[in-house]
Amino acid sequence: MKLVALLISLAMAAPATALAQTAVKPKTTVPATAIAPSYVQLATNVEVIPNIEDAVKSSSILTHEGAFGPLLFAEETRAFFIELQPGMFLAEHPHDIGSIIYTVRGKWVLASEGKRQVMQAGTLFRFGDKMPTGWEAPFNEPALLLVVKPKGGNDNYDIFNRGIKAMQSAVDKDRKAGSPFYYSELKSDDPAIAYARSVNPNFDAVLKIKP
């Protein structure tokens, strides 16, 4: 009797399975726009960016804190990139929501509580909510960072773009008010410059870079 019941159950499930198969959509490529990268829609809720370097070229917004661009949005998290240019400096400041950050290429310096750490391709770190951190770019090549953090209300490409544009404007005002965003804007005895010289023998070339 158990075998009969199993066969009946399988027979009843067959039409639903066939229906599910016919509902599967083909793999498609969503083209890049001015505010979003191209990605592959592999399945109903599966998206792929084959190479984030392409996203850097197609959808980045340059600010004094680096070039920002969105990657993908999941149910609870979002991923975006930051590309730091040589000579950039961002003083320690608290962030409302923590992040996990992976260095894709290049080298840069993470600063927190007055301590510094050289980050390089393959390095992964996280910081907690409200934790002050800063980044410095004392090396001669750009550094690309992959950032993953809770999505919150930032849940689509348009909102991300508008948020970065607002941040870009706010940073411009801070810089005009005297906040430094480049090594060339720091005092010569700033600890960040001393550390930069200790990790990059060619730092003086970076120090000459002006925005």
Which CATH number applies to 28-207: 2.60.120.10, 3.90.700.10, 2.60.40.10, 3.40.630.10? 2.60.120.10
pLDDT computed for residue 3 by the predictor: 40
pLDDT at 107 over 70: yes
C-alpha closest to that of 106 among 72, 46, 146, 78:
146
Return the ∠ at Cα 198 (arms to 140 and 208), rounded to 5°. 40
> Is the per-residue pLDDT at 82 higher than 50?
yes
Q: Alpha-carbon distance 24 to 197, whole Å?
A: 57
Q: pLDDT value at position 153?
A: 84
Is residue 11 very low, low, confident or very high in pLDDT (cuts 50, 70, 90)?
very low
Query: What does pTM read for this prediction?
Result: 0.86
pLDDT averaged over the chain? Answer: 90
Domain boundaries, the chain: 28-207
